[in-house]
Structures are given as structure tokens and as C-alpha cells.
Amino acid sequence: MNPFLDTLQSLRDAFGSGKTRPAEFRAAQLEGLNRFLKENRDALLAALAQDLHKAPFESEISEISICQSEINLALNNLHSWMKDEHVSKNLATQLDTAFIRREPYGVVLIISPWNYPLNLVLVPLVGAIAAGNCVVLKPSEMSKSMEKIISEVLPSYLDKNCFAVVLGGPQETTTLLENKFDYIFFTGNPSVGRIVMSAASKYLTPITLELGGKNPCYVDDNCDPQNVANRVAWFRFFNAGQTCVAPDYILCTRETQEKLLPALQNAVTQFYGKDPQGSPDLGRIISDKHFHRLRGLLGNGRAAIGGQSDEQERYIAPTVLVDVKETDPVMQEEIFGPILPILNVQSIDEAIAFIRKREKPLALYAFSKDSKVVRQMLEQTSSGGFCGNDGFMHMTLTTLPFGGVGNSGMGMYHGKFSFDTFSHQRGCLLRSSGMEKLNSLRYPPYAQRNLGLLLSMVEISHKGQCTLL
């Protein structure tokens, strides 16, 4: 039983009609998203508070504002993004027109997770719409309040023929993936990423997978501990640690650890007060299952800071673990919670070796006053993105592509990269019937004498050099 067939067929028909191609249509949809954000701001903030105990401030800066920026960027640049991109030619094609045309794929599926349930639905959606596709959205069933808004409120702001929301859990998603899509954009964990790619391979559907991993955070001896602690704590405990680009664990020397601990405690107290559970600014864990998973990790090593939990509220205290071993459970999986283990290394080389033994993470952080140290960490490791001396700020720049590598994902988006991700780049060469004499050099019967002349025409010239016959 494939309950999605009708929906998909009507989206396919709508796409086939050419409706989504004109810039005016796409801009109108983007304006619709704009109005959706503006008119439902309070409801969206309430939903985020309901699902994740997200403070309005966090919701504004990590969800609403980011979505708003992406919509505005797309509206401001749509025409230029849509233009044919003319490319330089060789001698043989000098009189021809050569360009790359960006075209929509068709019916695109976007599967979004629960941790930033508005951002991770809307930002890819902006790209897919700007690129001229029809879209099926599958928001996460775990962030229930947001799921309700996405399925009940959002559609009325978009053309219903070109856009659909599908609900459900793993079972429904599996059935959904048995259908053919022209592109699949998935944000979630690596094991589901494998399942999505496997399903996509049946139809040769191109994909972008935004996955995760354990993002290392190296703290050099040469640093200002309080500065570092403030930033690391902020990015670790934001959204109660449920961020794919959060620093997952710290690598530093014993000496630095001794300086960091009081600084981290300082930061936690400053941010959330003496009793973080009472702070309105600290989030909660999304579900009982994840709560229990995280609570189990609290026993690893020793909790130098925090360690408390409350099942009723799905509250986990901002926690820093020390005396953690590489083999402990907390070092085997992406933590995705407000728990920060510190592992000791004797040198940056040891830190680098440790990182390189493991899967490539989505983000990598290095804190040091010495720019050479930061550069060394960058050059001798690999990760989706990298930030020196701060947390996931690199994500806020729409001019930087956001994506993983290896186990942390494939493909990228944000800003124009979203538009390009959801477009097929079609190489086009328009020739004329003229210049046939030149062409005839390539025809059989093949003569040795013609080869030299023909080769000199297809030869790629250095930039700036060109001699027309």
C-alpha cells in the first residue's frame, strides 16, 4: 500500500506543467514563507518552547532570524541566481555560446529532524523553492508542536499543487522512501543517512545528507581560559546540547583542564544561575528515550560540573565530565545533550592523532592565541566545517557552504549553495551551421595532416590568450 502515490503524482503533474519555473512564481512562494514567519511568530516561539523548552532568545537567533535571512537572501538574489552562467571557451568554440543553465530537479523530498525543527525545515525549503522545484516535506514527528504548525499552517502560505507535507514516524518514512523523488535532502544521523542513500540508489536519486558525529574541541595551553570557557559553554549548552555542530568533547592537557574547570563553572553559573534547572534559558531533552540515553552517560568518568537530572522535566544539568576514557560509552556516540567530556592529551600532535583515528566530524574547533596552532589543526585534520576560537559561528555566514564529509555527510547548502544544491547544472553549447570548413577537419577519412591544425583549435589556451584564425 503506497498512500503517497496520489500526492506525488499531482506534484509531478504540477511540475510538468512548468508552473514553478517562472521567477515570479518562485518569488511569490518565498513571499508566502515570509508572511508565514511574520504572522505566526508567537505560535512558532510557543511551539519551540513546548517541544524543546527553547528560550525565545535562542529561538530568535537560531531559528527565526536565520530563516528570515535565508528568505530575504533568496528574494534579493533570485534573478541573478537563475541567470545562465556563461563560461569561457576554447578556440574551436569561440563563435559559439556556452553556458551553464541551472534547472530544477522536479519533485524534491526534504526530511527534517527535531532539534531545530523550524530552521531545518525552512532553510532547505527556501533553496528548493528558489530553484523551482515542487517539494514534499517530512518534518520530524518528535517535535510535535512544530510538526503541527508545519502541516496545518504552512501549506496555506504556499501553492498547494506544488507543495505537500507528509507526517509519520520511521514506518511511514520507509514507505515514503520507496517512491521515486528527483532529489532527497536529509538531515539526521548517519545510520538513517545510510538507509536514505540506499533507498535513493534504487532510483539513482541525487542526495544531500546532513549528518553528524563527535565534533572535537581542542583547547591549547596558550589561551585565555575564561574566554574559551564562555564560548565553549555557550555552544555546548545551547539548545541543551542538541545541536549537530556543538563541540562534543574537549581535548586539552591536564594543566589546561585545571584552568578550564573553574572557568566553565563560572560560565555555567553566569549563564544559568546557581540552579540551572530554574533558568528559563536552558532547554530540555526532546524525549524520554533521549533523556534516558543521556542520563546513562552521566556516570562516565566523574562529573566535575553538574551531573544532575530530573526525569519529570527531561532536564539534564549542564555537565562537564573528567577522567573519561576513550572506551567509555560517552565517547562512542554523538552525545547530543548538555554533557561535555574532557579528555587529556599531552600535545597538539596527540590531539590530532586522536581526531584522525575517528570518523570525520561535522565541525571541528580549535582554541588558541597562537594562529599557527589553529592553522596546524586545520591542515592536519578533516571535518565538514572548522572554526578557530569560537563555536558554530561559521554556520551563520551564508557565504560559507554548510555540510559534512565522510560519516558526517555529503553535499552542502545555505545561501546560494542551497540554490545550486537543488538545481541541475546543465552544460549547454549553442553552435551555428557556419564554420563547417573548420569542422570538416574532424571528419573521416582521417588524414594525418589535419590533426595538427585540429588539435591547435581544441587546445585550451591560457587565460587571456586567444588567437582567432
Partner 1 sequence: MSKISETVQRARAAFNSGKTRPLKFRIQQLENLQRMMKEREEEITEALYADLHKSKWCALYEECTYAFEEVKYALANLPQWILDEPVEKNDNTKDGQAYIHSEPLGVVLIIGSWDYPFILSIQPLVGAIAAGNVVVLKPSELSEQTAILLATLLPQYLDKDLFPVINGGVPETTELLKEKFDHILFTGSTGVGKIIMTAAAKHLTPVTLELGGKSPCYIDKDCDLDIACRRITWGKFMNCGQICLAPDYILCDPALQGQVVEKIKKTLKEFYGDDAKSSHDYGRMVNSRHFKRVMSLIEGQKVAYGGNGDEASRYIAPTILTDVDPRSQVMQEEIFGPVLPIICVKSLDEAIQFINERPKPLALYVFSNNDQVIKKMIAETSSGGVTANDVIAHADVHTLPFGGIGDSGMGSYHGKKSFEIFSHRRSCLIKPLKKEDSDKVRFPPFSAKASLK
In the region spanning residues 307 to 346, those forming contacts with partner 1, defined by CB under 8 A, are none
Q: Closest by alpha carbon to 260, among 293, 297, 220?
A: 220
Other Cβ atoms within 10 Å of 131 Cβ, number: 26
- Per CB under 8 A, contacts with partner 1 among 385-424 are 385-390, 393-394, 396-397, 399-402, 405-407, 409-412, 424
Other Cβ atoms within 10 Å of 453 Cβ, number: 11
Q: Does 102 bind partner 1 (CB under 8 A)?
A: no
Other Cβ atoms within 10 Å of 96 Cβ, number: 14
Convert residues 349-388 into a mask of x (bound to partner 1 by CB under 8 A) and - (unbound).
-------x----------xxx-x--x---x-x-xxxxxxx
CB of 421 to partner 1, least distance (A): 12
Nearer to partner 1, 6 or 436 (CB): 436
74/129 Cα distance (integer angstroms): 10
What are the start-end ranges of the E strands in 269-396?
302-305, 309-310, 315-316, 319-322, 339-344, 363-367, 385-388
- Per CB under 8 A, contacts with partner 1 among 253-272 are 270-272
CB of 202 to partner 1, least distance (A): 7
Could you list the active site residues?
Answer: 210, 244
Which region holds residue 314: left if phi is over 0, alpha if psi is between -120 and 50, else beta? left
Nearer to partner 1, 117 or 385 (CB): 385
Q: Is 449 helix (H, G, I), strand (E, B) or coil?
A: helix
CB of 100 to partner 1, least distance (A): 6
Q: Does 112 bind partner 1 (CB under 8 A)?
A: no
Secondary structure percentages of the chain, helix, strand, coil, to 5: 45, 15, 35
CB of 232 to partner 1, least distance (A): 12
Nearer to partner 1, 1 or 204 (CB): 204
- Per CB under 8 A, contacts with partner 1 among 165-184 are 182
Q: Does 201 bind partner 1 (CB under 8 A)?
A: yes
Q: Does 61 bind partner 1 (CB under 8 A)?
A: yes
Q: Does 153 bind partner 1 (CB under 8 A)?
A: no
* 208, 412 Cβ separation under 8 angstroms: yes
